[in-house]
Amino acid sequence: MKLSLPELAIPKLFSFGRRQRPLLGLDITTSSIKLVELGLSGGRYRLEAYAAEPTPHGAINEKAIVDAEAVGEAIKRAVKRAGAKSKEVAIAISGDAAITKVIQMPRNLSARDLEAQVELQADQYIPFPMEEVSYDYEVMGPSEKDPEMSDVLLVATRTENVDQRQAAVSAAGLTAHIVDVEAFALENACQLMTHQMPEGGLSRVVAVADFGASATTFSVLSNLRVIYTRDFAFGGQQLTEEVMRTYGLSMEEAGRAKKEGGLPSNYQPEVLDPFIDDMTQQVSRSLQFYLASGSGREQPEQILICGGCANIPGVAEVIASRVGIPAERGDPLGQMQLSSKAKAMGVKKDATALLTACGLALRSFD
């Protein structure tokens, strides 16, 4: 969901002042830091700059940044490698660190009165002392329940979640202009994959399974809006660790061998195939949770497999055959122009892992 948030006098989660240049989309995870800068050329998005850097070991613990200086140095290296010029970034907090709630407000309220009412009501929905919270809101439109009311999306997080990320960005000499939520960034990025969806995703139900290194996000979109999301601890790091154990390699060696090949012939049947089985089970379980989460849930017509694990040869086909829903590798760069600099950085091989970074960089055009 793209949020074009108002200028607020309250502690803000999303927008921090006016920007003059494109925003860098900066996805900070436990395993890597990915940076994307987008432009517009002839009505098409253009990837201007890209880089990925390993996250320093121990700098992030359970999604909390515990060493902002080390993360800042890695961000600085990514900016330098990408050749990015902008000093303003959009970053995201994880979905499980955010509280989201749709509340109803009278439609006839002025902007100032609405702000005051949200501030008064926010503490009913936020289970933390308000002085420890950053929050913001957006008016979504008339409420279906009552035409005299507006639906207002309230989003909040503990301020420490914002401060940790801002500190890392500041250590890199950059400014956090927008702090978003990963689920909203993913929804934003899905507009880049409409070329893969039936009817461009309009009036259709599509699932996106984004397999990260240590965590996976399973989202379901209806008419290109996220209606369900589930985060769970599973990712490519488990395959890396199994390669380490099986072949006595270091983490770095295992990661390189996993990507570049050269492992013994028993790798596919004894290590990779069981991991693909686990991926399939995670998708199947997430579908069951989604279908049981509310009345009238429709089975998705398609599953887009994203994240680094989507590059495993044949994985989308295996998932499709076992869950009974067409599946394919999601590619947010598929319709995008690429700068020669980004091509030289090997961005195409990382395309499936750039959903969050692309969704954040798209905030440049809000």
List all residues 6 or more positions away from 121 whose beta carbon is below 8 Å from its beta carbon: 103
Contact 336, 47 (CB under 8 A): yes
For 65-91, write each residue's pLDDT tens digit: 999 999 999 999 999 999 998 999 999
Residue 34, pLDDT score: 96
Residue 56, pLDDT score: 94
Residue 239, pLDDT score: 95
Contact 92, 360 (CB under 8 A): yes
For 188-226, write each residue's pLDDT tens digit: 999 999 999 999 999 999 999 999 998 999 999 999 999
Residue 260, pLDDT score: 83
**Which of 22, 38, 152, 164 shows the shortest CA–CA distance to 93?**
164
Whether residue 92 has pLDDT greater than 80: yes
**In this structure, how many other beta carbons lie within 10 angstroms of the beta carbon of residue 244?**
18
List all residues 6 or more positions away from 215 whose beta carbon is below 8 Å from its beta carbon: 30, 63, 94, 231, 232, 233, 234, 235
Residue 309, pLDDT score: 94
- Domain spanning 101-157: CATH 3.30.360.10: no
Q: In this structure, what are the phi and psi dihedrals at residue 37, rounded to the nearest 5 degrees?
A: -125, 125
Whether residue 97 has pLDDT greater than 80: yes
Hey, where are the domains in the chain? 101-157, 193-331
Kind and range of the H or E element at 225?
strand 225-232
Distance CA(154)–CA(121), nearest Å, equals: 10
**Angle 38-20-4 from CA coordinates, rounded to 5°:** 75
Residue 6, pLDDT score: 29
Whether residue 135 has pLDDT greater than 60: yes
In SS3 terms, 77-146 reads as HHHHHHCCCCCEEEEEECHHHEEEEEEEEECCCCHHHHHHHHHHHHHHHCCCCHHHEEEEEEEEEECCCC
**Which of 42, 49, 109, 118 shows the shortest CA–CA distance to 78?**
49
Residue 22, pLDDT score: 84
Q: What is 193-331's CATH superfamily?
A: ATPase, nucleotide binding domain (3.30.420.40)
Contact 2, 188 (CB under 8 A): yes
Residue 15, pLDDT score: 53
Contact 16, 88 (CB under 8 A): no
Q: In this structure, what are the phi and psi dihedrals at residue 99, rounded to the nearest 5 degrees?
A: -110, 125
Distance of CA 279 to the CA centre of its chain: 19
Residue 292, pLDDT score: 96
Mean pLDDT (whole number) for 120-145: 88
Residue 35, pLDDT score: 96
Kind and range of the H or E element at 25?
strand 24-28
List all residues 6 or more positions away from 178 whose beta carbon is below 8 Å from its beta carbon: 14, 15, 16, 23, 89, 90, 91, 360, 363
Residue 200, pLDDT score: 94
Distance CA(322)–CA(160), nearest Å, equals: 42
Contact 132, 159 (CB under 8 A): yes
Residue 14, pLDDT score: 52
Residue 96, pLDDT score: 83
Residue 19, pLDDT score: 47
Q: Is the dihedral of CA 10, 13, 229, 188 positive or negative?
A: positive
Mean pLDDT (whole number) for 144-157: 90
List all residues 6 or more positions away from 120 whose beta carbon is below 8 Å from its beta carbon: none
Confidence of residue 3 (pLDDT cuts 50, 70, 90): very low
For 7-55, write each residue's pLDDT tens digit: 222 334 555 444 456 899 999 998 899 999 999 888 899 999 999 999 9
Contact 32, 54 (CB under 8 A): yes
Give the tokens for residue 97: 């660190």
Distance CA(253)–CA(256), nearest Å, equals: 5
For 224-267, write each residue's pLDDT tens digit: 999 999 999 999 999 999 999 999 999 889 988 888 888 999 99
Average pLDDT over the chain, rounded to whole? 90
Kind and range of the H or E element at 284?
helix 273-291
For 220: left if phi > 0, alpha if psi spans -120 to 50, otherwise beta; the answer is: beta
